[in-house]
Amino acid sequence: MGRNMDHRAFEGKVIDAHSHLGVDLKMYCRREYPYAQTVEGLYYRQLSAGVDVNVVFPFSGDLYFEPAGLLDGCRTPAENPLSKVPYASENLLLMQEVYEYRGDLSGRFIPFVCIDPGRRVAEQIGEIRTLASKYAIYGMKVNPVGCASSVQTLRDGGKAFLDLAAEMNWPMLFHAVPAGMDDYSSAEVVLDLARRHQHIRFCLAHCLQFRKDMLACADAMPNVWVDTAALFIQVKLVRQLMAEGGISPDAVMDCLPQGHCQVMRELCRLHPRTIIWGSDSPAYSYICVRKDSARADRIFRLSGAYEDEIAALKCLPDNARIRACSLNTLVFLFGQKGKHE
User: Bridge-partner residues for 233, per DSSP?
Assistant: none
**DSSP symbol at 5:** P
Task: Report the alpha-carbon distance of residue 60 to residue 39 in Å, rounded.
Answer: 15
Quote the pLDDT of residue 135: 98
**DSSP symbol at 278:** -
Task: Report the alpha-carbon distance of residue 10 to residue 134 in Å, rounded.
Answer: 21
E strand map for the chain = 15-23, 36-37, 53-58, 109-111, 113-115, 140-142, 172-175, 202-205, 224-227, 275-276, 286-291, 297-302
Quote the pLDDT of residue 2: 59
Quote the pLDDT of residue 82: 96
Mean pLDDT of the chain: 96
State residue 309 phi and psi, 5-degree precision: -70, -40
Task: Tell me the per-residue pLDDT of 232-263, one tens digit each, with 9 for 90 and over.
Answer: 999 999 999 999 998 999 999 999 889 999 99
pLDDT grade for 1, boundaries at 50, 70 and 90: very low
User: Bridge-partner residues for 77, per DSSP?
Assistant: 65
Task: Tell me the per-residue pLDDT of 72-94, one tens digit each, with 9 for 90 and over.
Answer: 999 999 999 999 999 999 999 99
The answer to whether the CB of 2 falls within 8 A of the CB of 20 is no
Task: Report the alpha-carbon distance of residue 130 to residue 133 in Å, rounded.
Answer: 5
pTM of the model: 0.96
The answer to whether the CB of 99 falls within 8 A of the CB of 134 is no
Task: Report the alpha-carbon distance of residue 224 to residue 214 in Å, rounded.
Answer: 11
Report the amino acid identity of residue 305.
A
- Percent of the chain at pLDDT > 70 equals 99
Among the residue ranges 8-12, 118-122, 187-191, the one predicted with the least confidence is 8-12
Task: Report the alpha-carbon distance of residue 279 to residue 301 in Å, rounded.
Answer: 18
Among the residue ranges 7-11, 207-211, 218-222, 264-268, the one predicted with the least confidence is 7-11
Ordered structural domains, the chain, with CATH: 7-334 (3.20.20.140)
The answer to whether the CB of 145 falls within 8 A of the CB of 182 is yes
Task: Tell me the per-residue pLDDT of 125-138, one tens digit each, with 9 for 90 and over.
Answer: 999 999 999 999 99
State residue 46 phi and psi, 5-degree precision: -55, -50
Bridge pairing between strands 113-115 and 109-111: unpaired
Cis peptide preceding 272, ω within 30 of 0: no
Q: For the residues 185-200, what does the mean pLDDT come to? A: 97
Task: Tell me the per-residue pLDDT of 148-178, one tens digit each, with 9 for 90 and over.
Answer: 999 999 999 999 999 999 999 999 999 999 9
Kindly compute the dihedral angle of the four CA atoms of residues 162, 163, 167, 171, in this order, to the nearest 10 degrees: 0
Task: Report the alpha-carbon distance of residue 316 to residue 164 in Å, rounded.
Answer: 36
231-243 vs 306-314: helix crossing angle, rounded to 10: 100
Asked if the model's pLDDT at residue 293 lies above 80, the reply is no
pLDDT grade for 336, boundaries at 50, 70 and 90: confident
Quote the pLDDT of residue 256: 87
The answer to whether the CB of 264 falls within 8 A of the CB of 228 is yes
CA angle 199, 200, 203 (to 5 degrees): 140
Task: Tell me the per-residue pLDDT of 24-72, one tens digit each, with 9 for 90 and over.
Answer: 999 999 999 999 999 999 999 999 999 999 999 999 999 999 999 999 9
Task: Tell me the per-residue pLDDT of 92-151, one tens digit each, with 9 for 90 and over.
Answer: 999 999 999 999 999 999 999 999 999 999 999 999 999 999 999 999 999 999 999 999
Q: For the residues 219-229, what does the mean pLDDT come to? A: 98
Cis peptide preceding 34, ω within 30 of 0: yes
Task: Report the alpha-carbon distance of residue 22 to residue 91 in Å, rounded.
Answer: 10
